Amino acid sequence: MSRYIGNKCKLCRREGMKLFLKGQRCFSEKCAVSRRDYPPGVHAQKRAKITDYGVRVREKQKLKRIYGVVERQFSLYFKEAERLKGNTGESLMSLLERRLDNVVLASGFALSRNHARQLINHGHFTVNGKWVDVVSYSVRPGDVVAPRQKENTRKMVNEAQEVNKSQTVPAWLEVNRNTLTSRVVAIPKREDVPHPIQEQLIIELCSK
């Protein structure tokens, strides 16, 4: 499976905003966007004015990079969002929010999205008591996500929870920090998505 293994801070600088790819580091003074709020590259500060098409492309790139999906995956999510009833942009955001790696991260069970993906890939999480190692697994209302009953697994999750104790849990999840479980209580709505993405620009780009 294709994935980005380069410098993640460069992605944030290229998009001109924090994508929160490194967890708590993004909230500290070490954040690259705070120290160098311009795109990476020798001639980055001399680039020409971005076009309307470029604005739409950058918005799409932001969304892909936030959720860690590649172009082929994104195309599949977009096609699925088009098939669903209602606003395509809101459906797209909801589908991405329901990814298992996002649920683990939003529940405070991992330090970053990459950490969540690693834990899932290595078989540390279950959905409704069944072992799931697919990061793109789409959860549904009523599903219960929890770490496996192994000492090292629960230790890693507890450590992540301690670091993320000030993190706000989205309304569509119900997290029990004592039993280390996260229950999906509803389909996430647009207002539940914390990222400042203009999804309408993405729809305009992908609908052509």
Q: Is the pLDDT of residue 1 over 50?
A: no
What is the span of the domain harbouring residue 78? 8-96+193-206
More confident residue, 125 or 34: 125
d(CA 163, CA 86): 37
Residue 30 neighbours by CB under 8 Å, 6+ apart? none
84 with 135, same domain?
A: no
- Four-residue CA torsion sign, 116, 120, 122, 127: positive
61 with 111, same domain?
A: no
Q: At 55, which CATH number?
A: 1.10.1050.10
**Contact call for residues 26 and 20 (beta carbons, < 8 A):** yes
The pLDDT value recorded for residue 51 is 84
d(CA 131, CA 45): 48
The pLDDT value recorded for residue 198 is 86
Residues of the chain with pLDDT > 90, as a percent, come to 46
Count of structural domains, the chain: 2
125 with 139, same domain?
A: yes
CA 20 to chain CA mean position, Å: 9
Q: Which of 32-36, 140-144, 171-175, 204-208 has the least mean pLDDT?
A: 32-36
57 with 115, same domain?
A: no
d(CA 96, CA 193): 10
What are the pLDDT digits (tens) for 4-27?
555 555 555 555 555 555 555 544
